[in-house]
């Protein structure tokens, strides 16, 4: 088994990973492994077919990576730092920008609106569903270019 230091990103020229706590580094390495093992094998075929890998939605939910920036959502304790959240986005983007964008919109834009603007009843109602990815809908086929 390799140490956490040996698994660090060699492309992190400014060594931002050193600013993460040990627990945050474990989350980042889990993100890196998830993207490498679950996403990377699928994306080339989906890119060629012009489809989105919908099978990844349940895998994201199972990975425990959804809802990390928000305290009280997920099995992670306190909210993740902005540095960790940004580095997770970087790791995802290194493998596939479409999947990173999906995750960012789902985990950032949608969940943040509920977390920041909703009352407690709305947070209780919607945040659990979003974290569970049970409210994620398939992209509309009407938005595809003609002939696709």
**At residue 42, does pLDDT exceed 50?**
yes
Tell me the per-residue pLDDT of 103-116, one tens digit each, with 9 for 90 and over.
888 877 877 788 78
The residue-averaged pLDDT of 61-82 equals 70
3-state secondary structure 42-105: HHHHHHHHCCCCCCHHHHHHHHCCCCCCCCCCCCCCCCCCHHHHHHHHHHHHHHCHHHHHHHHH
pLDDT at 19 over 60: yes
pLDDT at 97: 92
pLDDT at 140: 47
pLDDT single digits (tens) 72-91: 554 545 677 889 989 999 99
């Amino acid at each position: 088994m390799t140490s956490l230091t040996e698994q660090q990103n060699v492309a992190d020229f400014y060594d931002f990973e050193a600013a993460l706590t040990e627990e945050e580094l474990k989350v980042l390495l889990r993100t890196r492994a998830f993207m490498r093992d679950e996403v990377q094998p699928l994306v080339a075929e989906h890119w060629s077919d012009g489809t989105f890998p919908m099978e990844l939605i349940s895998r994201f939910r199972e990975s425990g990576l959804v809802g990390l920036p928000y305290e009280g959502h997920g099995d992670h304790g306190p909210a993740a730092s902005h540095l960790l959240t940004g580095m997770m986005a970087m790791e995802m983007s290194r493998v596939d920008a479409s999947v990173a964008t999906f995750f960012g919109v789902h985990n950032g834009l949608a969940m943040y609106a509920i977390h920041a603007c909703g009352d407690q009843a709305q947070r209780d109602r919607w945040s659990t569903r979003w974290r569970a990815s049970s409210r994620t809908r398939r992209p509309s086929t009407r938005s595809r270019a003609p002939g696709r």
